[in-house]
Amino acid sequence: MDKAKHFAIHEDENFQAAVSYYAPYMEMSAHAHDCHQFSFLLAGSLAEETPHASQTNLVPSRGIKSAGQVHANRYGPKGALIFAVNVRRAATEPLPGQPKWRWEPMSRRGGKTPHALTLPLLHLWEASDQERINIIWDLIAHQFSGDDEAPEDVCPKWLARVEEELHAAPESADLGRIAAAYGIHRGHLSRAFKRRYGLSPSQYRSRSQVMQGLSRMLAGARPADAAQSAGFADQSHFTRMADRYLGLTPGRIQMFLQAAS
């Protein structure tokens, strides 16, 4: 079999997102990318070396490499499973104060666990193109952490507008348009939103869609109609997302409420 397997999830003029498996003891000689790279080591291990530093990652970790950063890789005895997003330079500018290269455990500074990462990764496969872009921005924003920063005392007007639109119409809210209207970097929008509300915009959107579908179903709409009106692809998608976020399917929730009434 090939030494590396790549499973493409999304590609457009700004992003390439893929899950890759690297075989045990595989090595990659020194090289550089012409794009920024944000990586999540989900399983296995790897050692990465730059001209100035090196890092061995034995636990689930997250990493940043700026465009042009020279690095070499060696994968461990069980290989490595990595989710990576390549961001072309035109899509984003390096954020102030961020290093050109960094790896750190996901558990540090409130980082996501591999299990928690499966939520956006699984959603990427079934999401629309725009939903995928939103989730990718959220994952990139998480790389810059900020999870341990306290929210501002006064919520900026633009951030309140994002929350209002996601709450009112999660199926149609356009975060890119809002960011552009206020002159806010899309990555900054995702970080600021998660810092204040405790959820990324895509998670907030999905939760809002679930609740929107449930409220319409419980008001008498057929489950399929409720799913469609809330922006889900179909009833099955609605059911999966409700189960994922709430631990209960819409039918089970409806049954409980009917029994309680």
The predicted-structure confidence for 66-75, as pLDDT tens digits, reads as follows 888 999 999 9
**What b/e sequence results for 122-161 when a residue is b if at least 16 CB atoms lie within 10 Å of its CB, and e otherwise?**
ebbeebeeebbbbbbbbbbbbbbbbeeeeeeeeeeeebee
| Dihedral sign (CA 219, 255, 231, 241) | positive
pLDDT for the residue 94: 56
pLDDT for the residue 147: 45
Per the structure block, which two tokens stand in for 234?
């179909």
pLDDT exceeds cutoff 80 at 116: no
Same domain, 187 and 259: yes
> How far from chain centre, in Å, is Cα 190?
10
Same domain, 17 and 92: yes
**Left (φ > 0), alpha (ψ -120 to 50) or beta: where does 255 sit?**
alpha
- Which of 43-47, 114-118, 208-212 is the least confident region? 114-118
Task: Name the residue with higher pLDDT: 42 or 235.
Answer: 235
pTM for this model (two decimals): 0.65
3-state class percentages of the chain: helix first, strand second, coil last, to nearest 5: 45, 25, 30
Domain boundary among 85, 112, 139: 112
d(CA 107, CA 127): 27
Range of the structural domain that residue 93 is part of: 4-112
- Give the chain's domain count: 2
Same domain, 95 and 160: no
The band of 24, judged by pLDDT with boundaries at 50, 70 and 90, is confident
**Which amino acid is present at 11?**
E
pLDDT exceeds cutoff 70 at 29: yes
Q: Which residues contact 185 (CB under 8 A, 6 or more apart)?
A: 92, 93, 95, 179
